[in-house]
A and B are shown apart, each in its own frame.
Chain A
């Protein structure tokens, strides 16, 4: 039954090929990073990927050789052995060392992303409440304060300004959700009953037509996949303020006249009639 070992070897080789190929295909890898801390996250990701990748290759080779060489054969007898204490110590101490190294090495980045003492000293850009199955955003209106009558309310539409730290307060109205900004490498669980500050930034602007994404990263129910939101990064503060102003104008609409009819990004032309 020596051929079984071939299966394991082929699978290991395929896994390695996929891992090496993935970074070169934009559809396979993470979307390009746009945030400051995201660079550090990517660096950690690559480092850990490298360490685990090398380990995987080493283990696979050893495993393949062992499976090939020591396969059962007619007349071969099993040999009883107690194991090697030296070998046990080596393969315990080396991984332990690697883990301690990773634990210490990533601490600075974790602190920057998660420790409240590191939160930027800025006014929150919005309060984001997750619920099954959407993100509800409340922006402080012109008075700069949340939960006043001039607040701006949006659904699945997160806006902030390029190159400036953005702070949000994250809440959940029902179950556990997870606030995931793939382009900014930010992920934070939203827990019912808690208000959690989350901060991030972006060095690249995005538009309403080609927005970045905010998705839910915690399976929260049957409509989990529907929890996707636009993330629009404005080029300047003035542009952001203008967006707030225009949105508030629409939110305060009291007459149809001067109504902004729904202008679609694309225009239906002709089509074909029956």
Chain B
């Protein structure tokens, strides 16, 4: 049915998006790659020279580099563990008959809509503050010494905040998947005498497998880039204790004015993200064929 004419029109309709995205992707990325081989400091912009692999070497030998990679991974894995396990548990709970399910759902989903700076500042000041936070109030009520969360456990505190933001996402997606589970299958398993644990392991979990994969991959993409939460709470400290790769790059670029070094870090971040992206694309791509 598609004539030459409509085909040309179709191409014309797609062109602006493709063109914009192409420029958007290639130009900055090419610049980052170029800068990563240059000695280029914003404080001394007249003096730009070829640096070879010096920036990569510099980044690589910086002790903060390995710590930031480690912190990046700890944040990703920590948040994933909390959100996936917590998400499955809460989704199972929400799938049961109860009173006020609508309101419960709304309350549980809400943290996802809170912008990162608000989430981080609310947790930092209202909940985890060693003097006036709710946790400190609770410790005092129990006769304990309040904990200075961001000084003593900076990375853990950030993981808690980020996990709080992403738990609703995992819950919502897993609940959606759970509700598409065939009720008859569940009943049949129940009739056959399968208990809750068996039903969970042999029926529910396999059914959720794909959604869990999607949750893990999508969250990983976002979690690799955690930034605002660190900026407004610990500012990467104490020392480099809560500096992740994005934060280290930001510090190198906009506080250290080192364009070359930051660009080398950027390329490393691209490689990291691509490893994850490869698997995500496969998971999503499979769905397109169906």
Whether chain B is bound by chain A comes out as no
